[in-house]
Amino acid sequence: MKHSPNSPILLTSSLHVDEARKAISEMVEELIQEAKVIGDPNDIEVVSLDQAIDRILAEDLLSPIDVPAADNSAMDGFAFDGACLDTSKPEIILRIVGTAYAGKPFEGKIQQGECLKIMTGALMPVGCDTVIPQEFTNAKEDLQIAFQQNQLKRGENRRLRGEDLQQGKPAIATGRLLRPSDLGLAASLGIASLKVKRRLKVAILSSGDELRSLGQALDAGSIYDSNRYSLTGLLNRLNLEIIDCGIVRDEPASLKEAFCAAAKRADVLISSGGVSVGEADFTKQIMQELGDVGFWKIAMRPGRPMAFGILKPVAGKNPARKTLFFGLPGNPVAVMVTFYQFVRAALLQLNGANQTEPPLMQAISEAPIRKKPGRTEFQRAILGRDSNGKPTVKLTGSQGAGILRSMSEANCFVILGHEQGNIAAGDWVDVALFDGLL
Ligand code: AMP
Ligand code: MG
């Protein structure tokens, strides 16, 4: 193994967020190489377009046709031979000899001094290469139109055959996380189904003696298992197969059994809780038997403790592959932040996506924010606009790692980098929108 999660560099006091991401990405790449997940026919399936949203394209989609298939009009207007635009006369007068509709082409040929009334998408008739939009023309008697020739150049308002896509060229590249526009694009080529990567099987479990399932009574000191639902929601955004392994007691035999059962069925196991200082030793012992897992202290807030590594292939697993393991912290906000920061990209990478990073933008902080250099912070905030239309952000109240309301009321993270100190009101800060991600 190139980069063991237990290697000394990862056990130094605090790990920079970027180092943690790099170590995770290297481990995922190694898993892909070992298991040859990419390109393995077992990992590819064919689905119809209406099932393909948020799946990952497994091979380049080549266009079977030129798009558009023929030259056509980009505007409602009049098609004519643009050679007449070379004359010195400022005004051009043309006689309308017919009409072309989208799906109903004009069969004849247009001569000098003539034009054809043409609708957007209608085929360009023989002898025409230019379209003057309707609104630039004046109607004259005897089915004639007039326009000023300085209003356009020869060839304008015409879409050329193959200008969008050429036959045999990739229309969508391998690794695309398929969005609605990709499905529309495939349909525009007459393609009804796509080769996509199979859905990853992701097991989730919650660990903690204090956790209760919904519907159970809360006895003294117990709380509801909320992480199960926020994690399920996060995973559903990625169109994965979720294996819910429920709640596991803080007890070595139960934990070991639950981890083994999950590893047998899943490509990835995500647990929450049980990795903080007080509990890590206990989990560490089990992990040493089951795989190669590092217990990290990451220089971030929230989400400082996190376990990451691989579980060995378990007997009876088909195909016999290792399982990627994320031991997320228990605090409800920390779970979501560590998922956003580390797990999401790893899942996409493992499944062959060629773009794993969520987009960032910048906004003006409405108020000062206290921040210590030496850790990356993910504050929950609401993105808005000031009176000049510039993007602004405002934090959503108390930012404790257990305060889920700060997350629920927010629509974005304000991400304050490792070296960053205090923020003054009016400073620009990095922002990551939740929409479509969290
Ligand atoms: P731990 O990392 O196990 O020490 O947990 C840290 C905090 O998160 C504790 O207050 C736990 O009660 C809480 N917690 C752990 N797991 C969950 C869960 N599944 N749902 C809600 N809160 C949790
Ligand atoms: Mg616990």
The per-residue pLDDT for range 405-438, each reduced to its tens digit, is: 989 999 999 999 999 999 999 999 999 999 865 5
For the Cβ of 303 lying below 6 angstroms from any atom of ligand 1, the answer is no
Q: Atom 16, ligand 1: which residue's CA is nearest?
A: 330
Q: Is the CB of 276 under 6 A from ligand 1?
A: yes
What count of residues does the chain have?
438
CATH architecture under which domain 361-433 falls: Beta Barrel (2.40)
Among 3.40.50.620, 3.40.50.1370, 3.40.980.10, 2.40.50.100, name the CATH number for the domain at 8-44+200-350: 3.40.980.10
CA dihedral (392, 394, 399, 405) positive or negative = negative
pLDDT by 10-residue block (mean), the chain, 438 residues? 46 83 95 72 91 96 94 97 87 96 93 96 95 96 92 95 94 96 95 96 96 96 97 94 96 93 95 87 86 94 93 86 95 95 96 90 97 96 96 91 89 97 98 80
273 alpha carbon to ligand 1 midpoint, in Å? Answer: 5
Report strand pairing: 223-224 vs 391-395. Answer: unpaired
State whether the beta carbon of 302 lies less than 6 angstroms from ligand 1.
Answer: no
**Atom number, ligand 1, closest to the C-alpha of residue 275:** 2
Q: Looking at the chain, which residues constitute the CATH 2.170.190.11 domain(s)?
A: 72-159
Kindly state if the Cβ of 73 falls inside 6 Å of ligand 1: no
386-409 pLDDT, tens digit each: 999 999 999 998 888 788 998 999
Please give the distance, rounded to the nearest whole angstrom, from the Cα atom of residue 377 to the centre of ligand 2.
23
Ligand 2 mean position, distance from CA 276 (Å): 8
- Give the global pTM: 0.88
CA 208–ligand 2 middle distance (angstroms): 4
pLDDT value of position 121: 95
What's the rounded Cα separation, in Å, for the pair 403 and 18? 25
Query: What's the gap in Å between 311 CA and the centre of ligand 2?
Result: 21
Choose which residue among 207, 213, 223 to substitute to test ligand 1 binding: the one with the highest number of ligand atoms within 8 A of its C-beta. 223
Pick the CATH number of 72-159 from 2.170.190.11, 1.10.760.10, 2.40.160.40, 3.30.565.10: 2.170.190.11
Is 329 close to ligand 1, i.e. is its CB under 6 Å away? yes
Strands 201-207 and 268-272: parallel
Number of H helices, E strands in the chain: 8, 26
* Cα 330 to averaged position of ligand 2 atoms, centre (Å): 6
E-assigned strand segments in 20-143: 44-48, 61-62, 72-73, 77-80, 91-100, 114-118, 130-133, 138-140
Determine whether the shortest distance from the Cβ of 323 to ligand 1 is under 6 A: no
**pLDDT attached to residue 36:** 61
For residue 133, list its beta bridge partners: 77
pLDDT digits (tens, 9 = 90+) for 161-173: 999 999 999 999 9
As a whole number of angstroms, the distance between CA 210 and CA 70 comes to 67
d(CA 379, CA 432): 10
Q: Which residues of the chain form CATH 2.40.340.10?
A: 361-433
Residue 9 confidence (pLDDT):
41
Q: How far is the CA of 271 from the centre of ligand 1 (A)?
A: 11
Tell me the chain's radius of gyration from C-alpha atoms. 30
Q: Which ligand is nearest to the CA of 271?
A: 1
Q: List, as one string, the DSSP characters of 392-428.
A: EEEE-S---TT-THHHHS-SEEEEE-TT---B-TT-E
Q: pLDDT tens-digit profile of 285-310?
A: 888 899 999 999 999 999 889 999 99
- Asked if 225 contacts 218 with a C-beta cutoff of 8 angstroms, the reply is no
Is any atom of ligand 1 closer than 6 Å to the C-beta of 294?
no
**Does ligand 1 have an atom closer than 6 angstroms to the CB of 210?**
yes
State which of 204, 209, 211 you would mutate to test the pocket of ligand 1, scoring each by most atoms of that ligand within 8 A of its C-beta: 211
Name the one residue in this structure whose structure tokens are 């266009």.
63
Instruction: Give the ligand 1 atom nearest the CA of 206.
Output: 19
Pinpoint the residues of the chain covered by CATH 3.40.980.10: 8-44+200-350
